[in-house]
Chain A
Amino acid sequence: MTKKKICLLGAFAVGKTSLVQQYVNSIFSDKYHTTVGVKIEKTSVDVDGEAVDLIIWDLHGEDDFQHVRLSYLKGSAGLIFVADGTRHSTLATALNLRQIAESSMGSLPFMLLVNKADLADQWEIDDEVMEDLRGQGISVIPTSAKTGQSVEWAFEELARKMVGK
């Protein structure tokens, strides 16, 4: 059995929790976010016939990077950054978080999910920016917590990256 710890990071109110909610098991309430600052969730994905358990550390969204508890990142095999497509600042936050994580953890497989794809008309992040990021080798995936678009795939993709590493 392979188990991987991944961390879910993003600015406040980017919809991280609602994004993963329908794909994960959790026994903890959202209250943990505001108290301990993290909430543990779990999901299982299939990578080329092998089941991989993803232990998801859903970190409380922080706009102020100083408050991110780096100790929670420790031991992660992969990271998922979430931005809100309707708020450009959240992408910056995500990218900043990624930098902080990289400086602390070294290079880890990661995905960048740009949420609220269902509200495409309100998006502040245009395709050009996303293509630019993809050009830097960053996997950018538009997702929708509402429609479930690409969420499962994003987990599988990350798992594949982590196992293949």
Chain B
Amino acid sequence: MGSPNTDNESKKKESTEEASIDALKHLLFQPESDRLAMLENRLDDPMTRANEISRSLPEAVSLSVMEGDRLTRVIQPVIDDSLKESVRKNPKALADAIFPALGPGIRKAITATIMGMIQSLNQVLNHSFSIQGIKWRLEALRTGRQFAEVVMLNTLVYQVEQIFLVHGDTGIVLEHVVAEGAMIQDPDLVSGMLTAIQDFVRDSFSTDGESESDGDLDTLRIGSNRSVWVEKGEHAFLAAVIRGNPPMELRTFYREIIEDLHLKAGSALAAFDGNTQPFALFRETLNSGLRFKEREDSQQISPVVWLIVALMVAAAVALPAYWGYRVNQASQEWKGRLEKIRDQKGVLVVSVERDDGVYRLNGLKDPLVEDPLTVLASENRSDIRARWQPFYSLDPAFVFQRAQTLLNPPPGVTLSLDRNTLIAKGKADQAWIDTFDIRATAIPGIDAANGDTLVNTDRIALSTAVNTLTALKIYFENNSTELIPGQTQKLSRLIETIRDVNRLMVILNLSVQITIVGHTDSSGTEKYNMKLSRERAETIYAFVKSRSMSYGFINTLGVGTQVRLKEETREEDRQFNRAVSFRANVLSANQGTPLNRRALQDPHPKPDGS
């Protein structure tokens, strides 16, 4: 390294060689040492450094801004303090500075607000008296917002269809974004024309007193539903084509985009030469401005719909309950009906099916039961279809009723049932008694028939007839076979009685032997009297034979005076013996012996006559 000390020492040695080395060193290192001296000077001299920093400060700040907001944060307190200090010391300076911006700014804000209010007025009127309106009024009360604001918030429906970022002077599109589905024209032509129109408007309508920005076109209205919002910056403007009613916050957002653009690319905008490449960076930001808000009508369910839904839900809950109640009720009702059917004697329900609203019954029914369903009122039978198979119920009532029906006892007979024995009491003719004997035990449920105490009316009749006959005497003239007069009735009774006996013996299956016995008085000879008595008996027999269809069971006998009808103590007594009498013997048809089964109820049964 070439320092002055080294040079001095070298000179002292006066060595040509060393001098040469020094010269070489000088040649080699002098420029370096000069630069070092200069650097030292630059670092040590504050003025020089300030000079240099002042040149690189803008670039440094720019770089710092691009890297983030650190610088902003660092210098913010300094600027704040400076401002405060400045305002404290000289308020007028600041007031003067901001005054020109203040007036137009306030005017613009007021105008925008009034425009917004007018915009919403129609909607407010439209919705004031609807259900929706009432709902919004409640919302306004709840949230503390103004009604108009609530209406606007609820009705704002818009879509930003496209956004142009346009270079102000040239009208050239720096960037352009389009919402999906929006119809567009060539953006370059549109933005050019838009720029031209802005110029045209400004040139045509601005007055001299207004600042340039105050004369800008900031909103174009197309029809009632579309507008173009223009947010203007120093070198570029943003134009948003919006359908519907956008909220004012959106304008603020676009304002921020423009400001951001100028902050980040102000110099590029100022020096714009037609190259749009650098502005592609802002495409994302612009895309975020393609906002939309859908009408929430589809989500707002009308009260009527709510009512319907509520009713449906209520129905869904209540109907099954009601249905269940009804089913239960119906089930209870059916059980009651079925019980009534089942409770009947002589009815046996085997199965029940429910099919298509109809109850199908299968079962057994005693023939004595006319129709098991008749226990129910007719309106309760309509939904029942029954199939019954016949069966004999052994219920005593049915057994008894069946006996009653089948045996059909005559009025004088009463039937009773003792366990399985059918008892018949009273008076009956032989025919019924025979029926009883034969048929009673054939009735299901009857094992034995007891007719022992039955009075056989036919036997009584026979007995009566026999008694009548044996009591009958027919008288003759003295020593003659001629009847004494006045006995016509007796003869009629005779014939009638014989007919009865004949009839009854057939009914009772008995054999009756009737004997016509001839008598004489004691006058005359025995031999003559025997002959006369025989003739008298045959006279009656002939009469009976002539008048009666059946007479085979009748025979005659002459007893003369051997059997006296009356002792002849006086002359008048003789006439009683000039007569015929009758005898009757009742015999079993088969055995020829008297039949004692079932007493004839004759208090004076005749002993076998012979």
The yes or no answer to B274 lying at the interface (CB within 8 A) is yes
Stretch at the interface among B33-41, B157-165, B199-207, B437-445: B199-207
The yes or no answer to B186 lying at the interface (CB within 8 A) is yes
Known pairs A2-B275, A40-B188, A42-B189. 18 more at Cβ < 8 A? A1-B275, A3-B172, A5-B170, A32-B193, A36-B197, A37-B196, A37-B200, A39-B193, A40-B196, A42-B186, A42-B192, A55-B171, A55-B189, A55-B192, A57-B192, A71-B199, A74-B169, A75-B168
* CB under 8 Å from chain A, chain B span 180-212: 185-186, 188-190, 192-193, 196-197, 199-200, 202-203
Task: Report the bound CA distance from A113 to B276 in whole Å.
Answer: 29
The yes or no answer to B273 lying at the interface (CB within 8 A) is yes
Task: Report the bound CA distance from A27 to B196 in whole Å.
Answer: 15
Interface residues of A (CB under 8 A from B): 1-5, 25-28, 32, 36-42, 52-53, 55, 57, 69, 71-72, 74-77, 162
Interface residues of B (CB under 8 A from A): 167-173, 185-186, 188-190, 192-193, 196-197, 199-200, 202-203, 273-277
Give 10 nearest A-B pairs by CB, closest first. A75-B169, A75-B170, A40-B192, A5-B170, A71-B199, A38-B196, A3-B172, A4-B274, A2-B274, A40-B193
Task: Report the bound CA distance from A39 to B196 in whole Å.
Answer: 8
A72 touches B199 (CB 8 A): yes
Mind listing 7 A-B residue pairs with CB under 8 Å? A3-B172, A3-B173, A3-B274, A38-B193, A39-B193, A40-B188, A55-B171
A5 → B minimal CB distance (Å):
4
Task: Report the bound CA distance from A76 to B195 in whole Å.
Answer: 13
A161 → B minimal CB distance (Å):
13
Chain A residues near B199: list those with CB within 8 A: 69, 71-72, 74
B171 touches A36 (CB 8 A): no
Chain B residues near A72: list those with CB within 8 A: 196, 199
A1 touches B171 (CB 8 A): no
User: Which A-chain residue is minimally distant from B170 (CB atoms)?
Assistant: A75
A107 → B minimal CB distance (Å):
15
A77 partner, pick from B168, B170, B185, B277, beta carbons under 8 A: B170
Chain A residues near B193: list those with CB within 8 A: 28, 32, 36, 38-40
A36 touches B200 (CB 8 A): yes
A30 → B minimal CB distance (Å):
13
Chain B residues near A36: list those with CB within 8 A: 193, 196-197, 200
A160 → B minimal CB distance (Å):
13
B188 touches A3 (CB 8 A): yes
Chain A residues near B169: list those with CB within 8 A: 74-75
Contact status of A25 and B186, CB under 8 A, knowing A40-B196, A69-B199, A74-B169: yes
User: Which A-chain residue is minimally distant from B174 (CB atoms)?
Assistant: A3
A39 → B minimal CB distance (Å):
8
B273 touches A55 (CB 8 A): no
A28 touches B170 (CB 8 A): no
Chain A residues near B274: list those with CB within 8 A: 2-5, 52, 77, 162
Chain A residues near B171: list those with CB within 8 A: 5, 40, 55, 57, 75
User: Which B-chain residue is minimally distant from A53 (CB atoms)?
Assistant: B188
A26 touches B189 (CB 8 A): yes
A71 touches B188 (CB 8 A): no
A55 touches B185 (CB 8 A): no
Task: Report the bound CA distance from A32 to B200 in whole Å.
Answer: 11
A59 → B minimal CB distance (Å):
9
B203 touches A69 (CB 8 A): yes
Task: Report the bound CA distance from A41 to B186 in whole Å.
Answer: 10
User: Which A-chain residue is minimally distant from B169 (CB atoms)?
Assistant: A75
Chain B residues near A25: list those with CB within 8 A: 186, 189
B46 → A minimal CB distance (Å):
43
Task: Report the bound CA distance from A5 to B273 in whole Å.
Answer: 10
B163 → A minimal CB distance (Å):
18
Task: Report the bound CA distance from A52 to B172 in whole Å.
Answer: 12
B584 → A minimal CB distance (Å):
152
A108 → B minimal CB distance (Å):
12
B189 touches A40 (CB 8 A): yes
A3 partner, pick from B196, B203, B276, beta carbons under 8 A: B276
A46 → B minimal CB distance (Å):
15
Task: Report the bound CA distance from A8 to B190 in whole Å.
Answer: 18
B185 touches A27 (CB 8 A): yes
Task: Report the bound CA distance from A38 to B199 in whole Å.
Answer: 11
Task: Report the bound CA distance from A25 to B193 in whole Å.
Answer: 13
User: Which B-chain residue is minimally distant from A37 (CB atoms)?
Assistant: B200
A28 touches B203 (CB 8 A): no
A1 touches B277 (CB 8 A): yes
B277 → A minimal CB distance (Å):
7
Chain B residues near A38: list those with CB within 8 A: 193, 196, 200
Task: Report the bound CA distance from A3 to B276 in whole Å.
Answer: 7
Chain A residues near B196: list those with CB within 8 A: 36-38, 40, 57, 72
A5 touches B277 (CB 8 A): no
Chain A residues near B189: list those with CB within 8 A: 25-28, 40-42, 55
A5 touches B172 (CB 8 A): yes
B215 → A minimal CB distance (Å):
11
A33 → B minimal CB distance (Å):
11
Chain B residues near A162: list those with CB within 8 A: 274
Task: Report the bound CA distance from A2 to B173 in whole Å.
Answer: 11
A69 touches B200 (CB 8 A): yes
B50 → A minimal CB distance (Å):
37
Chain B residues near A55: list those with CB within 8 A: 170-172, 188-189, 192
Task: Report the bound CA distance from A162 to B197 in whole Å.
Answer: 25
Task: Report the bound CA distance from A61 to B595 in whole Å.
Answer: 164
B167 partner, pick from A27, A39, A40, A75, beta carbons under 8 A: A75
Task: Report the bound CA distance from A75 to B269 in whole Å.
Answer: 12
Chain B residues near A41: list those with CB within 8 A: 189
Task: Report the bound CA distance from A75 to B169 in whole Å.
Answer: 4
B276 touches A1 (CB 8 A): yes
Task: Report the bound CA distance from A53 to B343 in whole Å.
Answer: 107
Chain A residues near B273: list those with CB within 8 A: 2, 77
Chain B residues near A76: list those with CB within 8 A: 170
A52 → B minimal CB distance (Å):
8
User: Which B-chain residue is minimally distant from A4 (CB atoms)?
Assistant: B274
Looking at A3, A5, A42, A52, the one whose CB has the most chain B CB atoms below 10 A away is A3
Task: Report the bound CA distance from A72 to B188 in whole Å.
Answer: 15
Chain B residues near A5: list those with CB within 8 A: 170-172, 192, 274
User: Which B-chain residue is minimally distant from A74 (CB atoms)?
Assistant: B169
Task: Report the bound CA distance from A25 to B277 in whole Å.
Answer: 23
Task: Report the bound CA distance from A40 to B203 in whole Å.
Answer: 18
